[in-house]
């Protein structure tokens, strides 16, 4: 078998491949490295249908290159361009991924003498702070690929190219593919691809769209084997979903009495291997024929006996890593004594275990320093990748505490002197809670010195000298043990005596009153004139009658203007994308939501403001301001906005599968989702809330968590929506804000209702109500019940100790009572009248994930009780006492 780093020729030279029905590319990242963003990006790759984009938005350094023109016709489009890095030692891509989910990560390196030096480069490839692979292209005429299955521990994934010698690192493509839940799980570490073969005499390879996860399958066959095949469909339904095209052929030993043997050499005797073998019976057997075989790994029993299911995939995989004695690995299939037919195998995957021992820098510190970098536009080439580790690549101007590899480093020193900083001293700095020294000297910072600096207990030295700071130095910065250097700020003073006297308030009040009266009169006159005019038109298209004319200038309004960096759309573009507001898909307090299409293919939802009150505009602004600075896989994504004259609109990604309430009730033809799917939705929604509470700066409270605000995509992945009532709350000791009561009756936190004190625990209460809805499928408030509110009703009903009394009857007993009790207890802890006794969203997420894992295990075990050859309608799970397991 060939190494994964030596088989790129068949991957990128234009050959025949299997093209099947187009699959969903949701979550795929396909970067054509070195492609200028203004040149046909994104584009659809002709052979696979994959949507490739330029990598310019994912990395801040590097130069665009292109392979020699004489070689272009030999390679597919994505491999003709590349990004190379002549400057800096470490250059890193920063990608957004789903924390805790297994991802296939693949990089291609196609040199093809792009620079004319004809010197094959050698450099290192890092995943975050850990070495992933060494890319040595010496003798590799057709390039290399590196591939890994890895579960990120944060929502940010950093892939770095590190210069180790005199040659220049480069990369051709970078591809990320989210994998199926529960697949390719290891005892520890990640999985580095050794080879992935389907057994057929062919020169073709298989990948997307035949493989929904875009794994690359290479054909492999040996002289001592015989190929069998079928023209019938083979069912590939299990969590690994090997492509059907790889299952329609299989290898059997030509000598029917001999074992089928697969061997490869181990470059390191300490390597640990994971095997995933895929079997399906694809021959019509005679009445007396039997195919049954055992498997051995390096001469020791591995699994069996196995009778492959007819036209249905059966996957046997390693539960723990195995080693190869003497450097040679041998996997054998041997027929049993009662078998009349030789063994067969359709496809095989082999991975080596790779450990990443160095912990990434504390996630809160990373988010903080990245935000500081963005706020001040810092473009130091060293400020890429993990800020603290490896220590030899630590960001310039930083020092970090690093006790051991298993402990996330913390940032202790931040030196941004002489960095051209402008504006105020950002409050993000206080997120670096272990910061000891801060140097902001020799910049152009302005405004007052913030008091929070003095409240950072770990700070012992602050240098703000030679800036344009003004005002009074806060008393907190004059505490004992804190060294403050402030010289070179002429308008900065230590006491109130150096501040100019305040002007007398009486004349100011008179002027302000006179100005206000003048403005009010002007507005009244303008309003009378405008009302006499006809409604505005654009071409021959009038605005829809359901949209009120809205004045959002608000000269005297306390609401600040909207600051965004998302795409701004004109009202004409909104009319065009919605086909003149042809299709309404919903309506709420904000206004009507219309279906639209962007760029001819991207579906969007367009929410229009339909009320002219300041409160309506405040909610519009709150939603825009929040979604400008948050991004999470479980939050609805804002595409852009319209803020043109009287017209306000928010443009979101379209989430096509409705909301949770619709699916629970079955209204509108929606499905009645089972217990396992409900648990997954709960995990998704809780993860989104957790991000708002601890991942945002400042943290956010949603304030309107309910089943109708949990949207579901085509795979039932949940997205939180409707952030018009959201509010930020301060971190630290002051963990609440006082605010006007807002929310949905039934979901509203009673403590918040009585005290006006809003905290993140208010969202926890609302989420607890949603969990009770998922269990019961009952209305939150039902006046026809003896106990009208759902919390009172469930407590009354379960006094008998029987959880079935509140369970949604549509489950039809397809659940485990222990699992439901556990979620019920979690829900009741969330709706505790005292917010102090409620769990945090992080605790809720942990509990939900454990319940979900238990539910998946239960379903797999239920399927495993059936014999593999008893039915073609089930996926079999067999757990032996050895390390292989089959699904």
If asked whether residues 231 and 174 sit together in one domain, one would say no
Nearest of 655, 586, 648 to residue 623 by alpha carbon:
648
The pLDDT, as a whole number, for residue 162 is: 97
pTM for the model? 0.58
If asked whether residues 352 and 370 sit together in one domain, one would say no
* Residue 876 located in a structural domain: no
| Among 601, 634, 654, residue at a domain's last position | 654
pLDDT digits (tens, 9 = 90+) for 435-447: 999 999 999 999 9
If asked whether residues 421 and 379 sit together in one domain, one would say yes
CATH code of the domain in which 54 resides: 2.60.120.430
If asked whether residues 643 and 760 sit together in one domain, one would say no
The DSSP result for 363-432, as a single string, is: HHHHHHHHHHHHHHT---TT--S-SSSSGGGPPTTEEEE---TTSPPEEEEEE-TTS--EES--GGGGG-
* Residue 339 located in a structural domain: yes
* Residue 200 located in a structural domain: no
Q: What is the average pLDDT score of the chain?
A: 82
The pLDDT, as a whole number, for residue 327 is: 81
Strand partners, 65: 82
pLDDT digits (tens, 9 = 90+) for 553-604: 333 333 333 344 457 888 889 998 998 888 888 776 667 889 998 877 788 9
CA–centroid distance for 224 within its chain: 46
CA distance 309 to 323: 29
- The answer to whether the beta carbons of residues 454 and 430 sit under 8 Å apart is no
If asked whether residues 671 and 567 sit together in one domain, one would say no
If asked whether residues 478 and 558 sit together in one domain, one would say no
CATH code of the domain in which 850 resides: 1.10.510.10
The pLDDT, as a whole number, for residue 729 is: 56
Q: How far is CA 824 from CA 468, 746, 764, 821, 838, in A?
A: 57, 18, 14, 5, 14
* Residue 198 located in a structural domain: no
| Among 654, 670, 703, residue at a domain's last position | 654
* Residue 194 located in a structural domain: no
Domain of 677, in residue numbers:
657-867
717 is in an annotated binding site: no
The pLDDT, as a whole number, for residue 713 is: 85
pLDDT digits (tens, 9 = 90+) for 108-148: 999 999 999 999 999 999 999 999 999 999 888 778 999 99
Beta strand 273-279 with 347-354: parallel, antiparallel or unpaired?
antiparallel
The pLDDT, as a whole number, for residue 617 is: 67
If asked whether residues 824 and 782 sit together in one domain, one would say yes
Q: How many domains does the chain have?
A: 5
If asked whether residues 234 and 347 sit together in one domain, one would say yes
Q: Which two tokens stand for residue 48?
A: 């696979």
The DSSP result for 48-111, as a single string, is: T--EEEESGGG-S--EEEE--GGGGGGB-GGGTEEEE--S-SEEEEEEE--TTS-EEEEEEE--
All residues at 6 or more sequence positions from 771 whose CB lies less than 8 Å from its CB, including other chains = 682, 823, 826, 827, 830
The pLDDT, as a whole number, for residue 13 is: 34
pLDDT digits (tens, 9 = 90+) for 346-403: 999 999 999 999 999 999 999 999 999 989 999 888 999 999 999 999 999 999 998 8
* Residue 539 located in a structural domain: no
The pLDDT, as a whole number, for residue 727 is: 66
Tokens 């075989």 identify what position?
A: 293
If asked whether residues 27 and 135 sit together in one domain, one would say yes
CATH code of the domain in which 264 resides: 2.60.120
Active site residues: 704
CA distance 683 to 636: 15
If asked whether residues 108 and 126 sit together in one domain, one would say yes
If asked whether residues 327 and 377 sit together in one domain, one would say no
For 759, the 3-state DSSP assignment is: coil
| Among 498, 528, 558, residue at a domain's last position | 498
pLDDT digits (tens, 9 = 90+) for 608-654: 876 544 446 666 776 676 666 677 889 888 888 888 877 888 888 88
pLDDT digits (tens, 9 = 90+) for 509-549: 444 444 454 444 454 444 444 444 444 333 333 333 332 22
* Residue 886 located in a structural domain: no
* Residue 388 located in a structural domain: yes
If asked whether residues 479 and 588 sit together in one domain, one would say no
Nearest of 358, 442, 425, 440 to residue 128 by alpha carbon:
358
């Amino acid at each position: 078998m060939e190494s994964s780093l030596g088989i790129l020729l068949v991957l990128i030279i234009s050959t025949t491949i299997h093209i099947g029905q187009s699959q969903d590319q949701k979550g795929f990242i396909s970067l054509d490295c070195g492609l200028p963003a203004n040149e046909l990006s994104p584009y659809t790759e002709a052979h696979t249908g994959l949507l490739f984009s330029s990598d310019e938005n994912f990395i801040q350094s590097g130069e665009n290159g292109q392979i020699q023109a004489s070689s272009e016709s030999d390679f597919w489009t994505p491999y003709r361009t590349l990004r190379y890095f002549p400057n800096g030692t470490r250059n890193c891509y920063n990608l957004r991924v789903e924390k805790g989910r297994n991802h296939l990560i693949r990089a291609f390196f196609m040199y093809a003498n792009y620079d004319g030096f004809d010197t094959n480069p050698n450099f290192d490839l890092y995943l975050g702070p850990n070495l992933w692979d060494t890319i040595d292209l010496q003798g590799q005429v057709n390039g290399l690929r590196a591939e890994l299955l890895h579960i990120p521990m944060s929502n940010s994934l950093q892939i770095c190219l590190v210069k180790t010698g005199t040659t220049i690192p480069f990369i051709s493509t970078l591809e990320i593919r989210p994998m199926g839940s529960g697949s390719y799980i290891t005892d520890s570490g990640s999985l580095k691809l050794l080879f992935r073969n389907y057994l057929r005499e062919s020169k073709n390879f298989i990948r997307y769209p035949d493989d929904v996860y875009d794994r690359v399958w290479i054909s492999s066959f040996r002289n001592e084997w015989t190929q069998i095949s079928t023209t019938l469909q083979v069912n590939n339904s299990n969590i690994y979903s090997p492509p059907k095209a790889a299952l329609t052929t299989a290898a059997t030993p030509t000598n029917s009495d001999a074992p089928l043997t697969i061997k490869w050499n181990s470059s390191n005797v300490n390597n640990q291997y994971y095997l995933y073998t895929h079997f399906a019976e694809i021959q019509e057997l005679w009445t007396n024929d039997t195919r049954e075989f055992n498997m051995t790994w390096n001469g020791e029993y591995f699994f069996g006996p196995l009778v492959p299911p007819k036209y249905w995939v059966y996957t046997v995989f390693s539960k723990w890593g195995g080693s190869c004695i003497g450097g040679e690995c041998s996997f054998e299939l041997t027929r049993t004594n009662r078998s009349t037919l030789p063994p067969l195998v359709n496809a095989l995957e082999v991975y080596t275990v790779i450990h990443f021992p160095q912990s990434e820098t504390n996630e809160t510190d990373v988010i903080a320093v990245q935000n500081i970098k963005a706020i001040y536009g810092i473009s130091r080439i060293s400020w890429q990748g993990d800020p603290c580790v490896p220590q030899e690549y630590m960001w310039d101007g930083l020092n970090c505490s690093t006790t051991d590899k298993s402990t996330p480093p913390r940032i202790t020193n931040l030196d941004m002197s002489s960095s051209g900083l402008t504006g105020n001293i950002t409050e993000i700095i206080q997120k670096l809670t272990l910061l000891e020294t801060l140097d902001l000297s020799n910049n152009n910072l302005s405004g007052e010195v913030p008091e929070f600096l003095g409240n950072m207990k770990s700070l012992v030295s602050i240098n703000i000298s030679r800036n344009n700071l003004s005002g009074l130095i806060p008393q907190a910065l004059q505490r004992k043990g804190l060294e403050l250097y402030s010289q070179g700020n002429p308008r900065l003073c230590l006491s109130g005596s150096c501040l100019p006297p305040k002007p007398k308030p009486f004349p100011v009040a008179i002027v302000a009153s006179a100005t206000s009266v003048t403005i009010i009169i002007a507005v009244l006159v303008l309003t009378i004139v405008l009302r006499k005019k006809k409604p505005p038109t654009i071409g021959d298209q009038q605005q829809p009658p359901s949209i009120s004319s809205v004045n959002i200038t608000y000269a005297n309004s306390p609401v600040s203007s909207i600051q965004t960096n998302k795409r701004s759309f004109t009202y004409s573009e909104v009319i065009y994308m919605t086909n003149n507001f042809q299709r309404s898909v919903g309506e709420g307090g904000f206004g009507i939501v219309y279906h639209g299409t962007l760029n001819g293919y991207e579906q969007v939802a367009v929410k229009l403001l339909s009320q002219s009150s300041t409160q309506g505009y405040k909610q519009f602004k709150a939603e825009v301001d929040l979604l400008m600075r948050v991004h999470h896989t479980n939050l609805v994504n804002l595409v852009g906005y319209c803020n043109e004259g009287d017209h306000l609109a928010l443009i979101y990604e379209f989430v096509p599968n409705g909301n949770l309430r619709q699916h629970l009730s079955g209204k509108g033809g929606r499905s009645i989702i089972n217990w396992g799917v409900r648990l997954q939705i709960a995990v998704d929604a809780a993860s989104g809330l957790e991000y708002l509470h601890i991942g945002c700066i400042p943290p956010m409270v949603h304030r309107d968590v309910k089943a109708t605000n949990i949207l579901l995509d085509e795979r039932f992945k949940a997205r939180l929506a409707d952030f018009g009532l959201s509010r930020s709350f301060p971190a630290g000791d002051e963990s609440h804000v006082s605010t006007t009561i807002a929310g949905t009756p039934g979901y509203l936190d009673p403590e918040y209702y009585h005290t006006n004190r809003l905290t993140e625990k208010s969202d926890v209460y609302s989420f607890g109500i949603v969990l009770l809805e998922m269990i019961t499928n009952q209305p939150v408030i039902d006046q026809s019940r003896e106990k009208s509110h759902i919390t009172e009703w469930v407590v009354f009903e379960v006094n008998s100790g029987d959880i079935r009394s509140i369970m949604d009857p549509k489950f039809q007993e397809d659940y485990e009572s222990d699992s439901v009790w556990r979620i019920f207890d979690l829900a009741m802890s969330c709706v505790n009248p005292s917010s102090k006794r409620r769990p945090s969203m992080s605790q809720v997420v942990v509990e939900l994930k454990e319940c979900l894992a238990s539910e998946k295990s239960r379903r797999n075990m239920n399927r495993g009780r059936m014999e593999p050859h008893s039915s073609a309608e089930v996926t079999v799970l067999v757990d032996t006492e050895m390390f292989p397991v089959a699904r």
